[in-house]
């Protein structure tokens, strides 16, 4: 029984680390994404024809949608 408990403890630490790296803190990621969106929106108001800013905005919106779907699927919140 001691061997099993020891192996489970080792696995626990590995799973925690992987979970933290893979999923991270959802609220922090969402806040970071929101800050970037606000920044890009402000820049787009002054330069609406910028291809780079429009592409960045599209990527940020897709990333936000992906995070929201992940949150809904795994945690049941939206």
> pLDDT at position 78, please?
46
Using CA atoms, how far apart are residues 42 and 23, in angstroms rounded to an integer? 29
Condensed to tens digits (0 to 9), the pLDDT of residues 17-40 reads 877 777 777 788 889 999 999 999
Q: Measure the CA–CA gap between 64 and 5, rounded to whole angstroms.
A: 40
DSSP state of 1: -
Q: Is the dihedral of CA 67, 72, 76, 78 positive or negative?
A: positive
> What's the pTM value of the predicted model, to 2 decimals?
0.63
pLDDT tens-place string over residues 35-63: 999 999 999 999 889 999 999 999 999 99
Instruction: Identify the pLDDT of residue 4.
Output: 93
Q: What is residue 77's predicted lDDT score, i.e. its pLDDT?
A: 53
d(CA 34, CA 42): 12
């Amino acid at each position: 029984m001691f061997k099993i408990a020891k192996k489970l403890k080792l696995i626990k630490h590995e799973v925690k680390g992987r979970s933290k790296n893979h999923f991270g803190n959802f609220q922090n990621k969402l806040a970071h994404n929101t800050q970037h969106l606000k920044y890009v929106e402000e820049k787009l108001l002054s330069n609406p024809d910028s291809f780079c800013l429009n592409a960045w905005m599209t990527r940020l919106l897709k990333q936000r949608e992906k995070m929201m779907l992940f949150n809904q699927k795994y945690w049941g919140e939206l």
